[in-house]
Chains A and B, each alone.
Chain A
Amino acid sequence: MANEVQVEKMTDLMAKFIAHTAKKLPDDVIAKLQELRDKEDSPMTKVIYDTMFRNQELAVQLNRPSCQDTGVLQFWVKCGTGFPLINELEALLKESVVKATFEAPLRHNSVETFDEYNTGKNVGKGTPTVWWDIVPNSDECEIYTYMAGGGCTLPGNATVLMPGEGYEGVTKFVLDRMTTYGLNACPPLLVGVGVATSVETAALLSKKALMRPIGSHNDNEKAAKMEKLLEDGINAIGLGPQGMGGKYSVMGVNIENTARHPSAIGVAVNVGCWSHRRGHIIFDKYLNVTITSHSGVEL
């Protein structure tokens, strides 16, 4: 019985947090957009950034989702083996999306594949997406939330390069995507890159890279150098806000990596749009919450 009460409590807290992330961007994104806004100087970029900031203010004021595409919900959970609701977690996350969809309101963005109909609930087979990391000897649960919009999901791409193509090949793979699909994904973008051993390991890392705060760096010195090189390089292309031209194109480039087979380099790219609706919330075993992504939230 106590468990039922707890499940309801966590479902409710998650629904409220999800709804909040639809209306307010995380602190690091707001700060970065502010910085880029100040650094741009053409009249067009100014007008676009002004509109973006006015929109975010209005969204909070009128309590509406800031972008009409509230995406498919994706969760990356790092759950302790001792977290009391580990068994119920996946089901309650789904329920929290249904709840948030009704309360926020969020757009119905779940279309069953093959049968090709919209479920009308914003959840379906395998949506929301849940990625699990099990953490031994912990009773906490850490959850990253993400709204994957259509426009910013489109540039996603992954491949396996031959070692001969090297990191030069990785560079070209990422940059090619920026001037084709990236353009329409509502820049300034956050670019996530996965470098690993195969197509799926790289792909998952490229999404996890988008959960890292803007301005953070890969622990490996060379990977961090490559993040900086790619960031400067994509900025030099000059996509500007909305891809209409400007001095900057990205909010940052985050690389995540693993070891690889000697004969293969798995590489993937994923982008987040300017409206990068990422959240990060931590539950302790009593369901006390700590929110690191957004300041001043009352759930």
Chain B
Amino acid sequence: MVEIKDGKKILVTPVSKEDLADISIGDIVYLSGSLTTCRDVAHRRVVEEGRQIPVDVRDNAIFHAGPIIRPLDDDKYEMVSVGPTTSMRMEKFEYEFVKETGVRVIVGKGGMKENTERACKEFGAIHCVFPAGNAVVAATEVEEIVDAKWKDLGMPETLWNCRVKEFGPLIVSIDSSGRNYFEEKKVEYNKKKDEQVELISKQVGFIK
């Protein structure tokens, strides 16, 4: 479901394919509902070992992140700090992962490539960036840690299923039509870089 509140576009889980239809790269959205941390080894387990993911992420969101968690009483936990990790490490698994799990919103850091583009387009999903280095903001937007699975993977890799409220800002880096913000930007950056190298080179002929 999509909700607009104080001018903010909020994706509320469960999210459908249609909800994502008019969201494009560069848009800023927020997320309320179910968000599960999920990174390297969990991807490997699902894709390479064919294991069933023990948290239902279908129509929900995952977060490429390794948090710092504080255990409370009665099997409860508190989110102290959580920030995105480089999404590119999950790129080689992401097509299969989205296909298997039906996840709709992938949150991480930096861009991803063809596998994820293909998954987003075929299955109706998006990849977003949470601005990195803002671990305290992210942690305070987690209302509750609802569940923890695959705890044998240790704190950073455990699937921490969180209930989040207006989690963001999330900047859309791959949309459900498969467009890729970073890849488009990189073309522009490289062009400008070449121009600047030429420009500066004319002024640093210190060896005569």
Contact of A167 among B88, B131, B137, B207 (CB under 8 A): B207
Q: Which residues of A contact B182 (CB under 8 A)?
A: 183, 243
- Cα distance, A239 to B110, chains bound together (Å): 12
Residue of B at shortest CB range from A23?
B136
Chain B contacts of A66 at CB under 8 A? 133-136
Contact size range, B = 35 or more
Contact residues, A234-250 vs B (CB, 8 A): 234, 236-239, 241-245
> Interface readout for A124-164 with B: 1 if CB under 8 Å, 0 if not?
00000000000000000000000000010000000000010
> Given the known A-B contacts A65-B81, A237-B196, A242-B131, are A151 and B86 also in contact in the complex, defined by CB atoms under 8 Å?
yes
A79 interface residue per 8 A CB criterion: no
Q: A166-B206, A178-B193, A237-B192 are in contact. Are A68 and B82 (CB under 8 A)?
A: yes
CB contact between A43 and one of B28, B80, B139, B197 (< 8 Å): that residue: B28
The size of the chain A interface, using a CB distance under 8 A, is 53
Known: A47-B28, A243-B110. A179 touches B206 (CB 8 A): no
Q: Are A171 and B83 in contact (CB under 8 A)?
A: no
Which residues 244-273 of A have a CB within 8 angstroms of B?
Answer: 244-245, 273
Residues of B within 8 A of A171 (CB): 197, 200-201, 204
Q: Evaluate whether A51 and B131 lie within 8 angstroms (CB atoms) in the complex, with A65-B81, A68-B67, A245-B185 already known.
A: yes
**A58–B140 CB distance below 8 A:** yes
Query: C-beta contact mask, B116-136 vs A, less than 8 Å → 1, else 0?
Result: 000000000000010111111
* Complex interface bits, B171-208 against A, C-beta within 8 A gives 1, otherwise 0: 10000000001100110111011011101110111110
- Of the listed residues A55, A172, A176, the one surrounded by the most CB atoms of chain B closer than 10 A to its CB is A55
Contact flags A183-195 to B (C-beta < 8 A → 1, else 0): 1101000000000
- Contact indicator A58/B136 (Cβ below 8 Å): yes
Given contacts A178-B193, A244-B171, A274-B133, contact A184 B109 (CB under 8 A): yes
B26 at the interface (CB under 8 A from A): yes
- Which residues of A in the span 81-124 have a Cβ within 8 Å of any Cβ on B? 105, 107
Is A67 in contact with chain B by the CB < 8 A criterion?
yes
A51 in contact with B186 given A184-B86, A230-B200 (CB within 8 Å): no
Q: A68-B82, A167-B206, A168-B201 are in contact. Are A244 and B181 (CB under 8 A)?
A: yes
- Nearest residue, chain B, Cβ from A163: B207
Q: Is the CB of A237 within 8 A of B193?
A: yes
A68 touches B193 (CB 8 A): no
Q: Which positions 43-94 of chain A face chain B at CB distance < 8 Å?
A: 43-44, 47-48, 51-52, 54-55, 58-59, 62, 64-69
Scan residues 70-98 of chain B and give those whose CB is less than 8 A from a CB of chain A.
80-83, 86, 88
Q: Is B46 an interface residue (CB 8 A)?
A: no
Would you give the 0/1 interface string for B54-79, flagging 1 where the beta carbon is closer than 8 Å to chain A?
A: 00000000000011100000000000
CB distance from B184 to the nearest CB of A (A): 10
By the criterion CB–CB under 8 Å, are A44 and B185 in contact? Answer: no
**Across the interface, which residues of A come within 8 angstroms of B66, CB to CB?**
68
Task: Return chain B residues, CB-CB under 8 Å to A58.
Answer: 136-137, 140
Are A69's CB and B83's CB within 8 A?
yes
B134 touches A55 (CB 8 A): yes
Docked complex Cα distance between A132 and B27 (Å):
48
Beta-carbon contacts under 8 Å, B133-164 to A: 133-137, 139-140
B133 touches A105 (CB 8 A): no
> What B residues does A167 contact at CB under 8 A?
201, 204-207
Q: A44-B26, A175-B200, A184-B88 are in contact. List 18 more A-B contacts (CB 8 A).
A: A44-B28, A44-B171, A54-B137, A58-B137, A64-B81, A64-B136, A69-B83, A167-B201, A168-B200, A171-B200, A184-B86, A186-B133, A229-B200, A230-B200, A237-B193, A242-B129, A243-B185, A273-B133
Q: Can you list 22 A-B contacts (CB < 8 A)?
A: A44-B26, A58-B136, A65-B81, A66-B135, A67-B135, A151-B86, A151-B109, A151-B132, A171-B204, A172-B197, A172-B201, A176-B193, A179-B186, A179-B189, A179-B193, A183-B182, A229-B204, A238-B192, A239-B189, A242-B129, A242-B132, A244-B181
